[in-house]
Structure 1
Amino acid sequence: MSAQQRMETNPEHRSHSGGLDSLVVPLVTPANVDAYYANYAEYAKTLRAWLVAYGIGGPVLFLTNEKAAARLASAENALTIIAFFLIGVGLQVLGTVVNKWAAWHVYSTLDDEARANHWPSRFWCWVNKQTWFDILLDTSSIAAFAVATALLMGVFLTLGKTASAT
């Protein structure tokens, strides 16, 4: 039965408010669980790639462009700007490593019941189910990149005004 059919046949879901109460979470079954996971995995992979590319792209721009490098080098907060870019990337790498180990432990216990009952596997299976960890790392990375970008814009805007005033 589709989510729409369940909503139409269940009086509890016939809310006319149009709010969250009227929404029905789709039933996940063994037949469609892979499709839901593939959807999540694609978004997670894309976001991580964007964040890492942004965090690496900022410093690389300054290493490959002489004018940009000179402007950044003359800024008092140049190390802070670069540090924020690297912190954002580091958080994404940390998330990747933690999720890799958690996924390996979950996978490795699928056919090994003895392993599944040891504390490391139970711990990593617990970690694998913690969405707050990914949310924390992603929002922290975005915040670090936002701070780096704001500081960087301040450098370029300030130096641009200084250069035009002379």
Structure 2
Amino acid sequence: MPTSTASARLVTPEQFVKHIQTQFGLDLSKPYQGRSPALQRYTLPLGGLDHDTVYERDRQIKVQNLLAAQAISWEAALYIMDKEKNKAAPTPDQPEWKVRLQDFFLRIHSRPPTDPEFTFLEERFRKLLERNVTPSQTWTAVVYILLASVEFWTL
């Protein structure tokens, strides 16, 4: 995990897509629900080739990078949860909840959550449930939080 975002470098769109394909079996380069792929819409801000820097990618973290990463993370979270719609959507009061959270965390970050991370996600989950958000929608938000993290998008 990078110690600071100043020294961190943004993952390339290809690295992000490969990770999602490997961990969840989803191809983010294809249209989803009639929309053009998010990756195509945000490739340049994420370090795609442009006319000024044909041979070199700009992988420095900027606001536009983070906004694009958040948009793609939301779409990826929707893809992931749509693929897993047949699975139960446990709540924190059920034993399966912790197992499912750890599974998502391992698949996205390649490590288990720390105690503070686990507590943070559980608190957010419970707050959404208190606002009458369905458990499946709440899981989409949790997956988005994991995907939109700076740790996930940087090397």
TM-score, length-normalised on structure 2?
0.29
The structure number with the bigger radius of gyration is: 1
TM-score, length-normalised on structure 1?
0.28
**Structure with greater helix share of residues:** 1
